[in-house]
Structure 1
Amino acid sequence: MTPERRGLDLRLLLPAGAAWAVVALVLGMPAARVVVVAVSVTASALLAATALAVVLHRAGVGRVGRQRLVLGQLVLVAVAGTLTAVIGHRLVATTGPIDQLAQRRAIVTVEGSVSSDPRRLTSTTLRGRTLVVIRLLVLRVEGRGAATRVRTPIVVFGDESWLTVRWHERVRVTVRLQAARPGDDAVATASARGQPQVFARAGPVERVAEALRADLRAATDHLPADARGLVPALVIGDTSRLPPDLDDDMRATGMTHLNAVSGSNVTFVLMATGWVAGWLRVPRRARLPASLAVLAAFVFLCRPEPSVIRAAVMGAVGLLGMSASRRSAGPSALAAAILVLLVIDPSLARSFGFALSALATAGLLFFARPWGDALARHLPPRAHPLADAIVIPLAAQAMCAPVIVLLQSSVSLVGLPANVLAAPLVAPATLGGVMTVLLAPFGPSVAWLPSWAAGLPAWGIATIAHVCAAVPWGSLPWPGGAFGALLLAALTLAALLTGPWVAATARRRPWAAVSSVVVAAAVVVPLPGGGWPPADWVIVACDVGQGDGLVLRTAAGRAVVVDTGPDPQAMTGCLDRLKVTSIDAIVLSHFHADHVTGLAGVAAGRPVGELFVTSVSSGADAPSNAESSQSSNSDARTGGSGTSDSGTGGSGSRDEAGRAAEVERVARNYRWRVTPLRQGDLLRWPGVEARVLWPGRTLHAGSVQNNGSVALDVRAGGLRLLLTGDLEREGAAAVLRELQSLGQGSRFDVLKVAHHGSSNQDPDLVRAVGAPVALVSVGAGNDYGHPAARTLALLASAGSAVYRTDRGGDIAVVARGGRAWVARP
């Protein structure tokens, strides 16, 4: 059933959509160009207004024609208004010296107001210390011999000392500034150079809100771990105690909207407020102000950040969509909400969260009521509430699916069932959590009952996420990017348009309807097990020629890249084949050309979270090894040891320093954070954990750069992988000693053979690892004799099956039944 055009006024959605698209387009433009666009649109609006006045006085213009002219004028006015807001925000944010100081990567001292809660980054913790991110509204900056008062938002990265900072406290700290990406809502990012100094506490209202949040956490301490983390996340957006495995499973099942403040939370709070007001017989005139007061208090409790304000506005609009008497006003309210939010915060135009929230609200407005009524007609009267529980997530999923494809490059088959099963549990969890917030200040015993009233349904939601995430073939690969999104949007539209016919046919000829659905599914949906990549891949060794390019899967469409090979195009092709659209991090084991030259190919069209590099500086090999290195190279060309500095030939310190400088330049252009890795560092991404086993120091035996390679002990997908870069015998022996000192065992499922399989291996490490799968990244017909015959024999004696990129291309390792299996395209 399609939206009821007679009952819904959709006209204002066009101006809102046009303004949204234009703002998203200009966010990354220089300020001067935005001004030019705004002036052009404003002038066009004035000219159109003049022409409209003339046309409307002419005879022969019908009612429909006038409406179209007015609608066109509204589009121009909406675009001009939001562009003016963009310019205003840009001027306010960039007034003062911070923008220029960030371009120079200056070290400055800032004073500002904390505008968000500190948040642990799940991606990385270095040397056992947590990396924390926090937003700061800078009010004063001291740098380059001057002190200036400003109002500039920045994002600060610091250590665990920032976890004690509270919202709206005033802090002072020394930071190194770095320019933010174009279109970001922060002017700069900053690396803290010390601990924050709090010199002013938050106000009394902020302290009350913080106390209520702390009371909620204390009142839920006795709940199971999943419920203990999910109740605060669901009710007030506090994800500080959400277990990582639950977070991963909720992402996999499309339930992440439940571990943050969303429009559905707001809708339930407003519905409960209306019910209480009716029960107390509050006059109707007073109910709207009462609801607005409750909404304002709820937003303040959850923090009035852009995402929370967006959820509050969309939740209120969604409530209109569920109301039969006010449903016709829903689209106009949604359009107004989009325009208001874009004026308040133009950066929302490029926010996936904003897009998903707006589309989900549109799904409720268009489809929830008619679909719910149609389904209820086929259910017993007592089961009518079940209709809403089914159609609400279905309507939201139908509208949001194309955007989700942009994020995941896959279509979840378990997302809809998971959300349908969880939907009846959201309201009691939310309302039980709100009751816990209200009663917790009186003591944990008073809040014990409502905490369990929230905890039990929250535990049920977590169980649904875990079970559905474990379903085999729970998601299907789908083309990424704009093409994949448009394809899914077209298929969704076709399903909506043919839905009534399918339903009518199903009633008359059930078997014909079933056959049609099966045929359509066979055409659109690939059979499990076919295509590339395999659905459960953990790591892929890309065929990049004579070099290393490894990809570790963190989530659908997301990965960590370890080394980038010698050819940007080869690396781009591999990532495209894997449907990777976002890079959580890049790790460069060392600075030889066959490991770093493909860096630009990884960055092309994909956001990159962070760059990690070896901590061993570029330097020449020890002079005493020069002759042996040359001799080894000569032997390598005839099948000998092959201990050249890189897989592409010997490189002097000048070339290595030049490549390190080039990596630094690329990182600076893309505004990546660059972090050197040392022995003992811990790296974490969704579903992947890596310990840095090496480098612990500079080894002057052999090649300094090869033996300075980053070696990683990776755990992902239930497998253990050892990635060794180009380590030679001396560095490999140091890795074995580190493994033995950690006492965590030295057995691995997968070994990435060092230095393309050269013969300069440490036999003790290879035998101790005993990996069933050994990956050799090597170029066909290379001049260095890689992989060496003696290395292949060593691997065979250790019980390893060898898989080479020069024979069959890309190699994928998949995890099945706790074991490593290999798949090829």
Structure 2
Amino acid sequence: MTHDLRLLAPALATWLTAAATIGLPASLTYALAAATTLAALYLLVTHRRPSRTRPNPAPSPATGANPHGGSTKTARPSSAATSRPRRWPTRRRPVGVVLVCVAASATGVALRATAVDTGPVRDLARNSRTATAEVVVTGDPQPRPGNGRRVIIIRARVETIPGAKVRVPVLLIASHDRWLHLVPSQRVRLHGRFVPPRGADLLAAVVIVRGPPAVLRPPSKIQRAAERVRARLRAASSRLPPDQRGVLPGMVVGDTSLLDPALADGFRAAGLSHLLVVSGANLAIVIGAVLGLCRLGGLGRRRAPPVAVLAVLAFIVVARPEPSVLRAAVMGLIGMLALFTGRQRQGMPALAAAVLLLVLIDPGLARSYGFALSVLATAGLLVLAPPWRERLARRLPGPLADALAVAAAAQLAVAPVLVMLSGEVGVVSVFANLLAAPAVAPATLLGALAAATAPFSLPLARLLVWPAGLAVGWIIRVARTAAALPYATIPWTSGGLGAATLIVAAGIAVLILRSRRMRLIVAAAMTGILIAVLVQRATAPGWPPPGWQMVACDVGQGDALALSTAPGQAVVVDTGPDPAPVDRCLRRLHITDVPVLILTHPHADHINGTSGVRRDRDVHTILTTSLTSGREARLTHGLPTRSAQAGQQWRIGDLTLSVLAPTATGPALAPEDDGTTINNASVVVVARRPGFSALLAGDIEAEAQRALESAVPPVDVLKVPHHGSRSQDHRFLAAAHASISLISVGEPNDYGHPSPATLRLLHHLRTQVHRTDKEGDIAIVRTRTGIATVPSRAP
């Protein structure tokens, strides 16, 4: 199959130029645009003049005698006589067109860079000044874990600041929950500190917002209608099981507000995360359904595309103009234009045209990972899937060959970008997509019909949602099963180096597959490695080790610990920043019952994973500090909650928990607290059982540590406070006399944890230091000579 690649070079040039020039000084980008414009004009306008030719001499007689009696030979035309005017070189035109695209892309970036680099908003940012501004929300609020607390990221456009009217994009970082309820196009007033953006982005400033928003204007009529559709779809899905009601709106309109983060992590591990965002597949299903209905309604080829265009525009508004939605929409509109004009639709020109137009309209897409994933997946389906389908069809049934070719082509095309983002290579993703594929179209189509009917008839929408939920349930089961398989993902180097090495590895694999001898050698080597791994797993003890006393779960930059109380039962202390890692850790420990869940303090890196602990487990009691938060209350809703006080004791089996802090006269929370007060109010617990003891110190800092020095008993294990930060008291750490110190920390992190000074202090105290970022989940076990650590991976 041949592809029309004439638009490929202009599209790539436009994309790469925008990606390379974002972040450069505007003057340099203008210079690039000017230089490429001049070069393009030279190639497209000028051409070489044709060479002058001499007149051909009169031909001599072919035969006969000349006047002097000699014979005459046939005259050969001279080279000048045969020379023709040189044609304008055919390669000049494509190069000129590419340079025009480079110039246009650079000009667009330069104009936007000039707009954001100058003006009163950037002046406020340069001076880190605080001001009141009126902004228009341009994107959905996105909650993110922050420095000890949840933050909300919102893209917006500043329109008014004191003394000036402007129109520049900014990024808002807020913490008040009312920011989560904003809808694009709403106008609000805020008060915050303006700072320069850190990365290369077309933003005038980053605004650290204080307090809630003051709504000045409701959303536009279009956005109100879109939000009504999304809300009614959520209402129609409310009677589905929790997982299905979270996934279905995400598959249909990209609404993941009800999605459990642990389930989202399972979709990512299974290679199915693309189903949780609106993509070209969703739009193709919608367009196909609309065109089919038009055909049934008697609309011809000329009248059906305008109806489909209106459906696409409505779909974009409801699903929000995300990069994948925009790319798919532009491709679909180009294809329908081809259908409307009667010309044959071709995939690659449509994809290239979509990239070209979108990057020229919004250069910021050039650095969007979502946009890159969408484009690469579509390119894989267009280029790789057809020949693979033909080869597989020789040995497999047609539908199976189609599904396998599509899944493999899409996954292979996006693999380099996924490695750059996650540092992992999915092993089971192709098979997971193959199993989920039959349910995707029914779930999407029925969900879209439910979204269209929900604003008018909620009972009818609920009737449509029920079979869609069944299809979604199958997809969820596939995702969970695939994510739970051993080695579902393989660690890989992240970033550009990881992508480059993966491409090289793929090239080597292609060369190996093309040689029969190499295939045999590699197959023999892989068989030997597989046998060795199986023998090692059969002879080596598994993880977790039998008789474990405590496990520090690797939850990234956060804390989560489990204290064994009985088979299948454990006390859990903190839950980490996300539900998925702690859920995965407790599943490996086979924990189904949690008699006490201790939340040491209400910072996101200690409580946001609470839903992961509650998943498929019985949690009986919550023990927390008196400084609670609304977020903590929502996470623990429906469970008995008690405030910890110094002197309390809890006994579960042979495990005794003694609370050392906080005291009744604990710290008061200041209005502008930076997190230190909440850290110092952490629940501090000593856990004991025969042959084992541990001090679990939450995130208390040096001040609170000094207040507890006299109350600290000698223990076997110390959970180092606050992820090994610099704020440590030497006498507090020394009083524990711990032979093992555990640091729960993520890699990488922006806080410099653990501090080199703290590591030197712990080594000076002659305690063994173990870190979750280096060793994964770390189990503490009893031995004949004392206690020891068993990490889940080699440091």
TM over 0.5: yes
Alignment of 1:790-801 (within 5 A): none
Gapped runs of 5+ residues in structure 2? 54-82, 537-541, 545-551, 560-576, 579-599, 614-623, 626-660, 669-675, 685-693, 746-753, 782-787
Question: CA 1:816/1:360 → structure 2, altered by over 3 Å: closer, same or farther?
Answer: farther
Question: CA 1:824/1:377 → structure 2, altered by over 3 Å: closer, same or farther?
Answer: closer
Structure 2 residue 787 is the aligned partner of structure 1 residue 821: no
Q: 1:85 aligns with which of 95, 108, 124?
A: 108
Question: CA 1:487/1:165 → structure 2, altered by over 3 Å: closer, same or farther?
Answer: closer
In structure 2, distance between residues paired with 1:431 and 1:721:
55
Q: CA deviation at 1:245?
A: 0.6
For 1:515, the equivalent position in structure 2 comes to: 520
For 1:631, the equivalent position in structure 2 comes to: none
Asked whether the equivalents of residues 126 and 196 of structure 2 are also in contact (C-alpha less than 8 Å), the reply is yes
Question: CA 1:33/1:463 → structure 2, altered by over 3 Å: closer, same or farther?
Answer: same
Asked whether the equivalents of residues 279 and 325 of structure 2 are also in contact (C-alpha less than 8 Å), the reply is yes
Gapped runs of 5+ residues in structure 1? 506-511, 531-535, 539-550, 563-583, 586-677, 699-705, 715-719, 740-745, 793-801
In structure 2, distance between residues paired with 1:728 and 1:475:
40
Structure 2 residue 174 is the aligned partner of structure 1 residue 153: no
Secondary structure of the 2:20 match is helix
Asked whether the equivalents of residues 133 and 190 of structure 2 are also in contact (C-alpha less than 8 Å), the reply is yes
In structure 2, distance between residues paired with 1:35 and 1:524:
56
In structure 2, distance between residues paired with 1:272 and 1:282:
14
Structure 2 residue 505 is the aligned partner of structure 1 residue 491: yes
Alignment of 1:323-722 (within 5 A): 329-380=346-397, 384-495=398-509, 501=514, 515=520, 518=523, 560=557, 680-683=602-605, 697=667, 722=696
Asked whether the equivalents of residues 778 and 804 of structure 1 are also in contact (C-alpha less than 8 Å), the reply is no
Secondary structure of the 2:303 match is helix
In structure 1, distance between residues paired with 2:48 and 2:531:
56
Q: CA deviation at 1:517?
A: 5.2
Answer with 1 or 2: which has the greater Rg.
2
Secondary structure of the 1:157 match is strand
Question: CA 1:243/1:14 → structure 2, altered by over 3 Å: closer, same or farther?
Answer: same
For 1:282, the equivalent position in structure 2 comes to: 299
Give CA-to-partner distance per residue, 1:701-742, whole Å, 9 cap, x none.
xxxxx999879889xxxxx99577896796176599999xxx
Deviating more after overlay: 242-251 vs 179-188: 179-188
Q: 1:22 aligns with which of 14, 17, 20?
A: 17
Question: CA 1:150/1:69 → structure 2, altered by over 3 Å: closer, same or farther?
Answer: same
TM-score in terms of structure 2 length: 0.68
Q: 2:311 aligns with which of 294, 300, 323?
A: 294
Task: Report the AA paired with residue 107 of structure 2.
Answer: T
Give CA-to-partner distance per residue, 1:193-222, whole Å, 9 cap, x none.
232122222232322221111110100001
Task: Report the AA paired with residue 153 of structure 2.
Answer: V
Secondary structure of the 2:557 match is strand
Give CA-to-partner distance per residue, 1:1-54, whole Å, 9 cap, x none.
xxx3xx211232122212222221110112122112211221222222245566
Q: CA deviation at 1:273?
A: 1.9
**Identical-residue share of aligned pairs (%):** 33
Task: Report the AA paired with residue 449 of structure 2.
Answer: M
In structure 2, distance between residues paired with 1:320 and 1:41:
31
Structure 2 residue 198 is the aligned partner of structure 1 residue 181: yes
Q: CA deviation at 1:296?
A: 0.7
Structure 2 residue 16 is the aligned partner of structure 1 residue 42: no
In structure 1, distance between residues paired with 2:136 and 2:703:
53
In structure 2, distance between residues paired with 1:713 and 1:515:
60
Question: CA 1:686/1:310 → structure 2, altered by over 3 Å: closer, same or farther?
Answer: farther
In structure 1, distance between residues paired with 2:530 and 2:109:
42
Question: CA 1:750/1:29 → structure 2, altered by over 3 Å: closer, same or farther?
Answer: same
In structure 2, distance between residues paired with 1:56 and 1:771:
88
Question: CA 1:811/1:202 → structure 2, altered by over 3 Å: closer, same or farther?
Answer: closer
Task: Report the AA paired with residue 557 of structure 2.
Answer: V
Asked whether the equivalents of residues 707 and 731 of structure 1 are also in contact (C-alpha less than 8 Å), the reply is no
**Count of equivalent residues:** 631
Alignment of 1:198-347 (within 5 A): 198-314=215-331, 329-347=346-364
Question: CA 1:397/1:775 → structure 2, altered by over 3 Å: closer, same or farther?
Answer: closer
Question: CA 1:60/1:361 → structure 2, altered by over 3 Å: closer, same or farther?
Answer: farther
In structure 2, distance between residues paired with 1:463 and 1:232:
17
Secondary structure of the 1:560 match is coil
For 2:141, the equivalent position in structure 1 comes to: 118
Q: CA deviation at 1:241?
A: 0.5
Question: CA 1:726/1:55 → structure 2, altered by over 3 Å: closer, same or farther?
Answer: farther
Q: CA deviation at 1:814?
A: 2.9
Q: CA deviation at 1:242?
A: 0.5
Task: Report the AA paired with residue 99 of structure 2.
Answer: L
Q: CA deviation at 1:419?
A: 1.8
TM-score in terms of structure 1 length: 0.66
In structure 2, distance between residues paired with 1:721 and 1:48:
75
For 2:160, the equivalent position in structure 1 comes to: 140
Question: CA 1:29/1:243 → structure 2, altered by over 3 Å: closer, same or farther?
Answer: same
Give CA-to-partner distance per residue, 1:82-139, whole Å, 9 cap, x none.
111112333444563111111112212211222122232255773xxx5322222222
Secondary structure of the 2:346 match is helix
In structure 2, distance between residues paired with 1:411 and 1:361:
20
Q: CA deviation at 1:141?
A: 1.3
Q: CA deviation at 1:291?
A: 1.8
In structure 2, distance between residues paired with 1:363 and 1:496:
16
Asked whether the equivalents of residues 23 and 200 of structure 2 are also in contact (C-alpha less than 8 Å), the reply is yes
Task: Report the AA paired with residue 119 of structure 1.
Answer: Q
Question: CA 1:814/1:97 → structure 2, altered by over 3 Å: closer, same or farther?
Answer: same
Task: Report the AA paired with residue 160 of structure 1.
Answer: D
Secondary structure of the 1:87 match is helix
In structure 2, distance between residues paired with 1:697 and 1:738:
19
For 1:658, the equivalent position in structure 2 comes to: none
Secondary structure of the 2:167 match is strand
In structure 2, distance between residues paired with 1:738 and 1:286:
80
In structure 1, distance between residues paired with 2:376 and 2:730:
58
Deviating more after overlay: 299-308 vs 456-465: 299-308
Give CA-to-partner distance per residue, 1:66-91, whole Å, 9 cap, x none.
44322211221111111111123334
Question: CA 1:54/1:72 → structure 2, altered by over 3 Å: closer, same or farther?
Answer: farther
In structure 2, distance between residues paired with 1:476 and 1:561:
23
User: Greater relative contact order (Cα 8 A, min sep 6): structure 1 or 2?
Assistant: 1
For 2:60, the equivalent position in structure 1 comes to: none
For 1:192, the equivalent position in structure 2 comes to: 209
For 1:760, the equivalent position in structure 2 comes to: 731
- Aligned alpha-carbon RMSD (Å): 5.0
Deviating more after overlay: 116-125 vs 392-401: 116-125
Asked whether the equivalents of residues 33 and 106 of structure 2 are also in contact (C-alpha less than 8 Å), the reply is yes
In structure 2, distance between residues paired with 1:353 and 1:687:
26
